[in-house]
Amino acid sequence: MLMTIMLPFHATIVPQFVLYEHLGWVGTILPIVAPKFLAVDAFFVFLLVQFIRNIPTSLDDAAKIDGCGPFRLFYWVILPLLTPALATTAIFTFIFTWNDFFCQLLYLGNSVSSYTVPVALRAFIDATSLSSWPQTLAMSLLSLLPIIGFFMAFQRLLVEGISTTGLKG
């Protein structure tokens, strides 16, 4: 798992593009959204594994004695304890995906209507460097509002998830 974290993203972009082209996903939003739901970012998998390792096994044993099966044990015992870590993962995934430029430029194609905010901001800058900077800066500020709102909504869970992930004992 650590090797996949150390592998540069750009080393896997060509095989991913070929796969998404074969699936017919290039030109749609699916190559950007679908991998995020399938836990392909090794950092977040590593974060969740470290968080689960800190959950005491006595909770598992107590739930098994009470008659919980594996799925019920996960749903009623483990998942509520994972809420801070899942919120941390969701916040960081949202911010990384929102700010991503390269994948969105590569997978969305040339349709201006499907541009995301970072790609649209770049398209707003003229090739002759005669850009209208006040409008560009206003659009940049407006592009930050969803990230700030998402962060403010889940700030408590983010701080709780970060502070309890590395604890032992």
| pLDDT at residue 169 in the model | 45
Q: Please report whether residue 2 resides in a domain.
A: no
Over 70: is that where the pLDDT of 165 sits?
A: no
H helices, E strands: number in the chain: 12, 0
Q: Which of 39, 26, 125 lies closest to 86, judged by CA?
A: 39
For the chain, report the end-to-end CA distance as a whole number of angstroms.
24
Over 90: is that where the pLDDT of 51 sits?
A: no
Angle between helix 155-165 and 133-153 (nearest 10): 70
Q: Which of 17, 10, 50 lies closest to 35, judged by CA?
A: 17
Q: Please report whether residue 12 resides in a domain.
A: no
Q: Please report whether residue 143 resides in a domain.
A: yes
Q: What is the mean pLDDT of residues 62-88?
A: 88
| pLDDT at residue 38 in the model | 79
Q: Please report whether residue 3 resides in a domain.
A: no
Over 80: is that where the pLDDT of 153 sits?
A: yes
Residue 23 · residue 137 · CB < 8 Å? no
Q: Please report whether residue 13 resides in a domain.
A: no
Look up the pTM and report it: 0.77
Domain count, the chain: 1
Higher pLDDT, 91 or 110: 91
Higher pLDDT, 1 or 98: 98
Q: Which domain holds residue 113?
A: 30-165
Residue 88 · residue 105 · CB < 8 Å? no
State the Rg of the chain over Cα.
20
Q: Please report whether residue 10 resides in a domain.
A: no
Instruction: Specify the DSSP class assigned to residue 74.
Output: I
Position 128 confidence tier, pLDDT thresholds 50, 70, 90 = low
Q: Please report whether residue 9 resides in a domain.
A: no
> Helix or strand or coil: residue 40?
coil
Burial of 47 (0-12, 13-18, 19+ CB in 10 A): buried
Q: What is the mean pLDDT of residues 116-143?
A: 78
Q: Any idea what the CATH number is for the domain that residue 68 is in?
A: 1.10.3720.10
Q: Please report whether residue 44 resides in a domain.
A: yes
Measured between alpha carbons, how far is 6 from 46 in angstroms, rounded to an integer? Answer: 13
Measured between alpha carbons, how far is 142 from 144 in angstroms, rounded to an integer? Answer: 5
